[in-house]
Structure 1
Amino acid sequence: MNLRRLRSYVVLAEELHFTRAAAKLFVAQQSLSKQIAELEAELGTPLLRRTSRRVELTPAGEVFLAAAREVLARFDRGVAETRRVGQGERTTLRVGFVVGAALELTTPILGEFTARHPEVRVELHEFGFADPSAGLAGATTDVAFIRLPGSTHGLVVAPLFTEPCVVGVSTAHRLGSRDRVRVADLLDETIAVGRTDDGVWRDFWTLAAHRGGKRARNLVETHSQSEEVEVVAAGMACSITPAAARRYSPHPGVRFLTIEDHPGSVLAVAHRADRPNPLVASFVDAAQTVRDREPGILLTIQGASGTG
């Protein structure tokens, strides 16, 4: 089994036509047929069904196509990376994050990773509410700090910590003099929520699980954390948000009240399952290492349920 046979098989599986595939590969049709036959013999199972009119993949052929694509993608990335390093270019790791990133753990995590890989250039990319995956969904980042719950299809997720949730209200709001509330106190309120297509993420921040299957009726959609804070300060809505908002988004017109019976939000480091990368694995390990050696910072984050 070799890369040439794998590439030939992938092209044929995509074309499902020997003549077209052979032309695309710049080989004779007989040569392509021989490569595929040798591949099937080595695997011990048919990969294709051939008739006079069509070519189609067997179930085993479908499985092998996915495996072949993954092997070739890894090899091609490795070749490109080797050439970049050999030519003196610095490798780049693109790190995405949503507002707050990993909070007080962000700086030590980045420091730990760059100490391990001084030859790697780290690019930081911030994403607004429209993309809770922080660039992973569109593959514009390699690894990211994301907030859960949210859509994690196709992602490998490593939770770092769970943070309490609070509600931000205007100082003139009917609840503004309180320190703590329950979800029931908020179900009739207008809620500010980030504009996004991620329904899982949206449901969590609009208290959907507490509404008996009904959607929130009064919502104000926002594009950024700063926009959301101003909407709340103006008394146009309240917002469900991580407790770190007290430290990272203070506003003289907003109070943050502890929600006693709403689950916390999980901060995780994530990456795409279809793009394995040793640097990404090292970044995840660095994040977990810093998390485990900084219990004081974790206590600040996870115990951030005081008044604000």
Structure 2
Amino acid sequence: MRSTVAGVRQWLSKRQIYFFIVPAVVFYVVFKYRPLYFIQIAFRDFRITRPIADSSWVGFTHFTELFQSVDFHQAMLNTVLISFYKLLFGFPAPILLALMLNEIRNDVFLRISQSILYLPHFISWAVLGGIVYSLFSVHNGLINNVIVAFGHEPIYFTGSTDYFRSLLVASDVWKTAGWGTILYLAALARIDTTLYEAAYVDGASKLQRIRHITLPGISSTIVVLFIINVGHLLDVGFEQILVLSNPMVIHVADIIDTYVYRVGLQQGNHSLAAAAGLFKTLIAGVMVFGADRLAKALGHRGII
């Protein structure tokens, strides 16, 4: 009894601190946990004109229809390919940028470089999409103007299935890499500088110091962020695809999110769209668990 009373008094003495987490709790309850109620739409014959409770249960009928859909197969393939390319090129990019920024000794140049790298993160895809089209447009685009100046024919980057995925990956790296350096720079700041001094005295080169001191020092951060990135592997970027895609490249641009948008909102088949979204969520959960197990098997700390 006394321990309970002491615990309550301790909580009351720090209640102002606990109040700071209230907005976060409200956000997750309203936007993350409350929507879980609507998962049942994937297992019902739901229509927007009637309540969920009045919709009959159909079991896994919508999942069967989903897996038999050619459009969903193509969307799934595109999602996996684009996600893999973004992970392959986008995940190492902030690490390399952080290592380069960490070697800059001029404070003014460092602040200017960080500001330039962080800026794209704060620009919406609606604006960035316009910038991308201005750069790669087949008519008076900056890139095509350079190509024509060298005597070659202009390339329709935004309308060619051969270049569109590369354009998606490159623009995503441009937008996210700079902001992604923040966590790595924070991890680099924790490394004991005496290790670098001792390695320098022993004759270690800059690359050797990076390999044997810097990378091991931020390895735990790299592993945790890798697991998180694997969990978002199927989140290719709905806004980016919606802004940059067009009918000419829809065969290579259609992903699960745009499939859900098209089937659920445009065609009104909410149950099928909910089944696709639930399938994506389950796959993401399995991938996070697998990446966490792999990290622990390699001797690193996981997140689960």
TM-score > 0.5, shorter chain as reference: no
TM-score normalised by length of structure 1: 0.23
Higher helix share: 2
TM-score normalised by length of structure 2: 0.23
